Structure 1
Amino acid sequence: MDRYVVIDLETTGNITNNDQIIEVGIVVIEGNNIIDEYSTLLRPNKPIPPFISKLTGISDSDVEFAPVFEEVAGDIVELFRDSYLIAHNVPFDLGFLNSELELFGMNRLKNPVLDTVELTRILFPQAPSYKLNQLAEYFKITHEDPHRALSDAYVTANLFLKLKQKVQSLPLETIKHLIKLEKTLKSDVFELFQKQQDHLMFTTTGNSFFESYKGLAIRSIDYDVDPEELPVEPFGEYLDQIYEPNGTMEKVLHHYEKRVGQREMSEYIYDAFQMRKHAIIEAETGTGKSVAYLLPAVYEAKKKNQRIMISTYTTQLQAQLLEEEIPMIEKLISFPINVALLKGRQHYIDVDKFAKTLRDNQQDNYDVTLTKAMILVWLTETITGDIDELHLPSSGYLFYEKISSDIKENGSVPTTKYSFYHLARKKAQVADILITNHALLCSDIFNEYQLLPTYEKIIIDEAHHLEETASRHYGLKLDYVNVQHTLNRIGAINADKWIDEISITDKLSLESWNDLLSKTKYEVDDLFRTLFKYVLVNQANKHAHSDIGRIQYRFTEEDFGNKKWNVIKEMTNRIIFYCKEQIRFLTQIGEKAQEDDTDLISSIKKLQTLVEQLQHLFIYNSTEDFVNWIEIEANGAKNAVYVYSEPRDISKTMEKLFFREKESIILTSATLTMKNSFSFIKQRLGVPLDRLVTKKIQSPFSYQDQVRLMVPNDFPDIKTSNIDDFVFATCEAILSLAEITNGRMMILFTSYDMLKRAYELIREMMVVDEYVLIAQGITSGSRSRLKKNFQTFDQAILFGTSSFWEGVDIPGDDLSCLMIVRLPFQPPHHPVYEAKANYLQAHKKNPFYELALPNAVIRFKQGFGRLIRSATDRGIVFVCDARIVKASYGKYFTDSIPDVPIAHKSTAKLMEQAKKWF
């Protein structure tokens, strides 16, 4: 069958049994050509909601004289005779179509279907989004009238033709595996894949673009690098050629605006490198700090033939550096840069493990099948093997954890030709600029073996996250699922060794091993269930809630002294005993092996680590230098327990292992100071003052002209009032501002609970669905997906907490108003804050001014920075929390952001001002 009929519907809503079709668009494809089209408006028996009218442009008056579905149903059904049915999200369009057909006593369509959402995910697994509008942009398909049925159908048809072309480009090994997976997919794609397989079976010409390994087609990779020397000239001349009038910056960048701070930052970093000093540089929004630090980094790397490390906190910034900033620098200096990205081994796929999962004849669920299909195609494209290139379905990441790369316990890595982690390490060794993340950097600092290539100079961007990352990696985390997973893997690996390799025939030995393993797992389950009960019993006077709603309980020296904790100690000692017995067992097996067995060595090391972790957490009283706490999911499984330990103060460790060891460390971020002082970040990180220089680079933006900061004086008091009253006042202000700004608002919350309350209340308060509400934790999708959805709609409000306070850039008219609901103080009962506060108090220091306030100010600055991202942006920052102007410490917030006009008036007067402002 080579006839494909593409359909797109516009409807009054999303519920098939309640809403109705208002427009049908159909495009007919035969072979590879569009041969026909069909389009009609339909008259529903209910009004079209205002939101749908705004989205589609279809009003009640447009459909007043249109036919009803029954009048055109026969024509529509006839178009689908002997053809595939194609839609961008088949369940939606086919569901509505069949619902209407049944309503009028007609047979449901039972055509084979092809879903372009599913097929695009498989065949273009690195596409940035799978929404039709964004795919049209990605593939450069003309989309004349988005959200109109015929235009959407044409885009879907052209998208399908691209999908067909992609299938025809895939190698035989990939197609064979896809055919095996096809039966679990939604699309009836067997015939498409089978045609390509038949074609390839009779093609003798090989494809040098792919290589075959263990039945998989993998893109050919060449990591050889030809080192080139940068024509050396004095650094000042090097910058002159870039920054001066008629320099390369003007030639390369369209609409270039000179930023004095950018060159100043470049010179400051270069000087710090030459003086072998550390530097802390706050570069405010608009400085262009990435380019500012890359220019001296490239110069230093090339001039001295010395690797320069760059560390970021987020993968988004890493991608930005690689895809945007580095290529721009190459144009500015007319010279290629040898740059590499190195992440932790869990980011890289292990091809051997993946090949094994394809050989296993287990019945996978849909998400796992889709993930396997995406990876099969991705392996024909990727040169990194980095899973962050993919947008996997939710449970696909759980599957991926099973096939991520392994590292040996001595720090060595597999060195097969198709070990992507090994290839990334190999490329990193010869790179001029090596980009990594804070997590891997901190693991390298605290590990016995080296994870990163040797370096002496490093630039740490997003440096305000370094302390928390270092604390997390110097500490430890233990949870039920991971402990049981570790034990299961150890059990499976070593039972296989006895049977297959060492040929121990004594069944009693194997039975003893299995019995020992079962006892260990039973005791682990018992321990975590006991911990769960312990937290529930003790939470009344000593608890907090995490960002994701888990109950948190900090255990201290008081716990170590009570009787109930003795029960926990006894259970832990039994687990430790069984683990040591397993270690003894495995050691004996290792002695009988003919050569060193890496799996056995790895298993012993993991058991030893587990013993040390259990002792640290539950046996020894380690609460003097560490913060120890337990998190439970109150409504989850009774063993859903997570145990954490972090140092109270990481500064001395960082000074000794990092700042004293390296030649020059540059710490930079847009938010490092409080009231123009760097003292907080210096103390928390332990930067030695004798080798430190600091600099604050002002923003080039005119905040006086671009921003208004508004604070209402008539909101319920945040501390003494009923929380519901405060939420209600907030929601009223949101809707009033949304009317003025036509949506285009982002609301930042400090707790998910308040976000959820506000979201539900606004849904009730809206008379019609005037605004699209997009809320973190409620609307499905990642942070970047929610941001893209927000930018897609003309009238939308974005609700965010935690991660939305930073790294979400929405320039231009897409964002006109930022609302900060509460000042971002950490909850006083958060285990880490509570322990650090007690420690400071014991040393005669004020925990509020030394800890709580600086953290809140830096967080506030991050949130404030979401609004203005370019010199032409304009908007309002509306802070619901009057403490920013009324409290004695409010000045710390307002003095730490750029100088902007502040209005502290009644909500009504602020709304009047906002109208005039816009």
Structure 2
Amino acid sequence: MKIQSILSTDGIFEKKLENFKARAPQLDLSIAIESAIKNNDILISEAGTGVGKTFAYLVPAMLSGIQTIISTGTKHLQDQLFYSDIPKVQNTLELNLKIHLLKGRSNYLCLYRLGSIQQFSNSFNFYYPEREFKDIINWSNTTGSGEISELTSVSENSNWWFKVTSNNDNCLRSDCPQHKECYFYQARELALDADLLVVNHHLLCADMAIKEQSDGIGEILPSAGIFIIDEAHKIEQSATSFFSEHFSNKQINLLTTDIFNDMFQISGDYAIKEYTEKLNNANLKLVASFGPHQQKKPQDDIKNNKNIYQAYDSVIDAIGALQKQLKPHKDEKSIESHSNKLSTITSFLTNWFSNNNNNDNNDKDKNDNHIKWFEVFKNNYKLHKTPLSIANYFSKHIHSSDASWIFTSATLSINNNFNDFQNKLGIKESQQIIVGSPFDYNKQAMLYTNKNDLNPQNSDFIARLMESAKPLIKAANGRCFLLFSSYKSLNEAVALLKDEFSLLVQGDMPKMQLTEKFITDKNSILLATKSFWEGVDVKGQDLCCVIIDKIPFSSPADPVFVARANKLKQQNLNPFEILSIPEAVITLKQGAGRLIRGVDDYGVLMIGDGRINSKFYGKTFLNSLSYFPHTQDTQQVINFLHEHTGN
């Protein structure tokens, strides 16, 4: 079966799939993917909005007869592929492939942890009155997969899921008494035998990290022949996270709870509580010693802080005292596991709090390429050790896999090349293709940048921007997204607009509910920050104006960004050109992608940042949006909106 006979005009899909329309860019992309699969190549591809890249890669992959792993940047796309797109291709082409979905272990009910809570409550004759817990108990008796997204009556953010699911830190793995019934490991067994497996970037990178640390022992995913990385602009961030080391005080809180529960079941007394509480109290003092919350800083900033180091010493002492109490019970599998985890925590903390970044004298280069940093929240801290580059890790896995790798996204190129993407992932040679959107941007859209030189560094920037934006908001009858780079700017805009317009503001309700409210309330405007720059799909005339406050450069205070910039400076390279501009271009393209989502859509993209016209780097950003007709004429934009709104 040839791809042309499926995706071309009058092909199988046009004849059998409702609402499918053949698109030349989709066919071009699919042919390029088929070629990469046949030749075992690496293909980097950018497909404009509306190309239909999902079918473009599904068709050649599913026809290839080669085991395939598709990785997505979000669980939403993962579910869409598994429950909608893949069945359409499978049924239409009359294939009989084994298709499976696999998510991270925290997405599955942990029978051991659920049982421990029930056993604990029975032992103390304690009754949990919460409706959510009752729903989980009832669902646990009927579920076949244990995937928590099945139970829609319990919010995905409920604290109960935190209690009845496991993670990489507290999972007992093969030592668990219910290992054979474990939903995650059952799903994993099915995944190993799948013809087509759908995962997300977090799981793909977790598997890579396990293989990196254990030479393949305990790997999660099969060694497939095709890897398709959708939403590939997110893969570097996911890989950075999973090749980093992380620790938070919540890990201690969870572990001490598990230790107390398990020791009570073994000994039937409260003796261990004195030691778990001592550790929890020491941990709380460490949280307090870090100072104000909502901050990110490098470890170097605290190396002379005696309060923090005294609190750290107390945590280490409390861990040692607790381990001594566990020692007589180490024959119990669960207690041995808990003791080992306490040792791992001690090792990480000792390494992290060392003032010498080069803790492994025999591996100096490795440590030179990491940054230690911390985040402080209310009642919580997180400690990180992050690689400055994941290129070596990622390229090692790509080139040792003996598979074809397909990277695709609507936003990968900068100035029509993939150099930045290749460098970040350590890809030296690849096939490449860019296919544009089938939408007619010359008729459907317009890019507007103000003639006034609005500078985000000026204190009156948001006030002046809102005055410039008001004529567009009125011409569009609301129906605008206002996307901001910070909550400070968002809140300032809310104060300036609330008396004149119907506002929907991020934080007032969950993201999905806010989006649905925007669609039903035809004259409202939605104000949001980074989480709305991508993954929001509003089609038709419900959205006809996207206003972006400024070029989305990364915060110059971010410790990882600063460390990477300093590393480039040491190599006599320009971090602004190599780091700042490429990241901001990709983010800006994502934000711009919210506007035109279908052939009947129309709208205006406004960028308020005057630097896009006045600075030398502005051309790079304008080039990335060159498919938009560009104007600085306010009246022309208003006329365009009036023409389409019928005002």
**What does 1:128-143 align with in structure 2 at a 5 Å threshold?**
none
1:589/1:378 CA distance change after superposition, 3 Å: closer
The Cα shift of 1:664 comes to 2.0
Q: Secondary structure at the match of 1:334?
A: coil
Match of 1:132 in 2: none
**Which of 154, 161, 165 in structure 2 is aligned with 1:404?**
165
Q: Tell me, in whole angstroms, the C-alpha distance in 2 between the residues paired with 1:487 and 1:698.
A: 54
The Cα shift of 1:626 comes to 1.9
The Cα shift of 1:375 comes to 3.3
1:894/1:265 CA distance change after superposition, 3 Å: same
TM-score by structure 1 length?
0.64
Decide whether the 8 Å contact of 1:718 with 1:726 is kept in 2.
yes
Deviations 1:665-696 (A, max 9, x none): 21111111101110101111112x24x22221
Decide whether the 8 Å contact of 1:825 with 1:855 is kept in 2.
yes
Q: Tell me, in whole angstroms, the C-alpha distance in 1 between the residues paired with 2:138 and 2:466.
A: 46
Higher relative contact order (CA closer than 8 Å, sequence separation 6+):
2
The Cα shift of 1:372 comes to 2.8
Deviations 1:300-351 (A, max 9, x none): 2xx2xx4211111111101211222112202331224321111111111134
Structure 2's unaligned 5+ residue stretches are 358-366
**Which of 240, 258, 262 in structure 2 is aligned with 1:471?**
240
**Which of 479, 501, 506 in structure 2 is aligned with 1:776?**
506
**Which of 326, 350, 355 in structure 1 is aligned with 2:86?**
326
1:384/1:753 CA distance change after superposition, 3 Å: farther
- What amino acid is aligned across from residue 627 of structure 1 in structure 2? I
**Which of 436, 446, 451 in structure 1 is aligned with 2:199?**
436
Q: Tell me, in whole angstroms, the C-alpha distance in 2 between the residues paired with 1:734 and 1:413.
A: 59
**Which of 283, 299, 302 in structure 2 is aligned with 1:524?**
283
**Which of 596, 601, 618 in structure 1 is aligned with 2:336?**
601
Q: Tell me, in whole angstroms, the C-alpha distance in 2 between the residues paired with 1:256 and 1:583.
A: 62
Q: Tell me, in whole angstroms, the C-alpha distance in 2 between the residues paired with 1:520 and 1:375.
A: 31
1:870/1:908 CA distance change after superposition, 3 Å: closer
- Given the alignment of the two structures, is residue 672 of structure 1 paired with residue 422 of structure 2, yes or no? no
Decide whether the 8 Å contact of 1:406 with 1:413 is kept in 2.
no
- What amino acid is aligned across from residue 334 of structure 1 in structure 2? E
Deviations 1:832-873 (A, max 9, x none): 211111111111110111000000000001111111111221
Match of 1:807 in 2: 535
Match of 2:362 in 1: none
Q: Secondary structure at the match of 2:478?
A: coil
Q: Tell me, in whole angstroms, the C-alpha distance in 2 between the residues paired with 1:406 and 1:475.
A: 16
Which moves more between the two structures, 374-383 or 856-865? 374-383
Decide whether the 8 Å contact of 1:569 with 1:619 is kept in 2.
no
Q: Secondary structure at the match of 2:446?
A: strand
Decide whether the 8 Å contact of 1:310 with 1:459 is kept in 2.
yes
- What amino acid is aligned across from residue 707 of structure 1 in structure 2? A
Decide whether the 8 Å contact of 2:17 with 2:92 is kept in 1.
no
The Cα shift of 1:417 comes to 7.1
Q: Secondary structure at the match of 1:402?
A: helix
Structure 1's unaligned 5+ residue stretches are 1-236, 501-509, 537-548
Q: Tell me, in whole angstroms, the C-alpha distance in 2 between the residues paired with 1:487 and 1:415.
A: 21
Q: Tell me, in whole angstroms, the C-alpha distance in 2 between the residues paired with 1:338 and 1:249.
A: 21
The Cα shift of 1:908 comes to 5.6
Match of 1:240 in 2: 4
The Cα shift of 1:886 comes to 2.0
Match of 1:837 in 2: 565
The Cα shift of 1:496 comes to 3.1
Q: Tell me, in whole angstroms, the C-alpha distance in 2 between the residues paired with 1:242 and 1:412.
A: 49
Decide whether the 8 Å contact of 2:4 with 2:27 is kept in 1.
no
**What does 1:870-881 align with in structure 2 at a 5 Å threshold?**
870-881=598-609
Match of 2:253 in 1: 484
- Given the alignment of the two structures, is residue 572 of structure 1 paired with residue 312 of structure 2, yes or no? yes
Q: Tell me, in whole angstroms, the C-alpha distance in 2 between the residues paired with 1:816 and 1:412.
A: 56
1:258/1:904 CA distance change after superposition, 3 Å: same
Match of 1:746 in 2: 481
Which moves more between the two structures, 460-469 or 406-415? 406-415
1:714/1:280 CA distance change after superposition, 3 Å: same
Match of 1:280 in 2: 44
Q: Tell me, in whole angstroms, the C-alpha distance in 2 between the residues paired with 1:251 and 1:380.
A: 44
Q: Tell me, in whole angstroms, the C-alpha distance in 2 between the residues paired with 1:728 and 1:246.
A: 54
Match of 2:423 in 1: 683
Count of residues paired in the alignment: 624
Match of 2:594 in 1: 866
TM-score by structure 2 length?
0.89
1:411/1:726 CA distance change after superposition, 3 Å: farther
Decide whether the 8 Å contact of 1:715 with 1:880 is kept in 2.
no
1:377/1:259 CA distance change after superposition, 3 Å: farther
The Cα shift of 1:738 comes to 2.5
Q: Secondary structure at the match of 1:450?
A: coil
Q: Secondary structure at the match of 2:27?
A: helix
Match of 2:29 in 1: 265
Q: Tell me, in whole angstroms, the C-alpha distance in 1 between the residues paired with 2:117 and 2:345.
A: 28
Decide whether the 8 Å contact of 1:715 with 1:726 is kept in 2.
no
Match of 1:213 in 2: none
**Which of 129, 132, 137 in structure 2 is aligned with 1:371?**
132
Question: Could you say what the CA RMSD is over the residues aligned between the two structures, in angstroms?
Answer: 2.7
The Cα shift of 1:473 comes to 1.4
Decide whether the 8 Å contact of 1:553 with 1:629 is kept in 2.
yes
Q: Tell me, in whole angstroms, the C-alpha distance in 1 between the residues paired with 2:641 and 2:524.
A: 18
1:321/1:414 CA distance change after superposition, 3 Å: farther
Q: Tell me, in whole angstroms, the C-alpha distance in 2 between the residues paired with 1:684 and 1:852.
A: 13
Match of 2:353 in 1: 618
Decide whether the 8 Å contact of 2:454 with 2:465 is kept in 1.
no
Percentage of identical aligned residues: 29
- What amino acid is aligned across from residue 755 of structure 1 in structure 2? L
- Given the alignment of the two structures, is residue 915 of structure 1 paired with residue 642 of structure 2, yes or no? yes
1:393/1:786 CA distance change after superposition, 3 Å: farther
Match of 1:78 in 2: none
**What does 1:843-854 align with in structure 2 at a 5 Å threshold?**
843-854=571-582
Decide whether the 8 Å contact of 1:568 with 1:618 is kept in 2.
no
1:716/1:241 CA distance change after superposition, 3 Å: closer
1:389/1:550 CA distance change after superposition, 3 Å: farther
Q: Tell me, in whole angstroms, the C-alpha distance in 1 between the residues paired with 2:258 and 2:116.
A: 15
The Cα shift of 1:761 comes to 2.1
Q: Tell me, in whole angstroms, the C-alpha distance in 1 between the residues paired with 2:177 and 2:516.
A: 39
- What amino acid is aligned across from residue 753 of structure 1 in structure 2? K
Match of 1:893 in 2: 621
Decide whether the 8 Å contact of 1:712 with 1:910 is kept in 2.
no
Larger radius of gyration: 1
The Cα shift of 1:574 comes to 4.6
Q: Tell me, in whole angstroms, the C-alpha distance in 2 between the residues paired with 1:604 and 1:903.
A: 65
Match of 2:70 in 1: 310
- Given the alignment of the two structures, is residue 717 of structure 1 paired with residue 455 of structure 2, yes or no? yes
Q: Secondary structure at the match of 2:184?
A: helix
Q: Tell me, in whole angstroms, the C-alpha distance in 2 between the residues paired with 1:523 and 1:352.
A: 28
- What amino acid is aligned across from residue 625 of structure 1 in structure 2? N
Q: Tell me, in whole angstroms, the C-alpha distance in 1 between the residues paired with 2:55 and 2:24.
A: 13
The Cα shift of 1:482 comes to 2.9
**What does 1:28-47 align with in structure 2 at a 5 Å threshold?**
none
- Given the alignment of the two structures, is residue 450 of structure 1 paired with residue 219 of structure 2, yes or no? yes
**Which of 693, 700, 709 in structure 1 is aligned with 2:438?**
700
Deviations 1:567-605 (A, max 9, x none): 544543453344345445534432xx4xxx331232122
Which moves more between the two structures, 469-478 or 745-754? 469-478
**Which of 351, 376, 382 in structure 2 is aligned with 1:632?**
376
- What amino acid is aligned across from residue 299 of structure 2 in structure 1? F
The Cα shift of 1:395 comes to 9.1
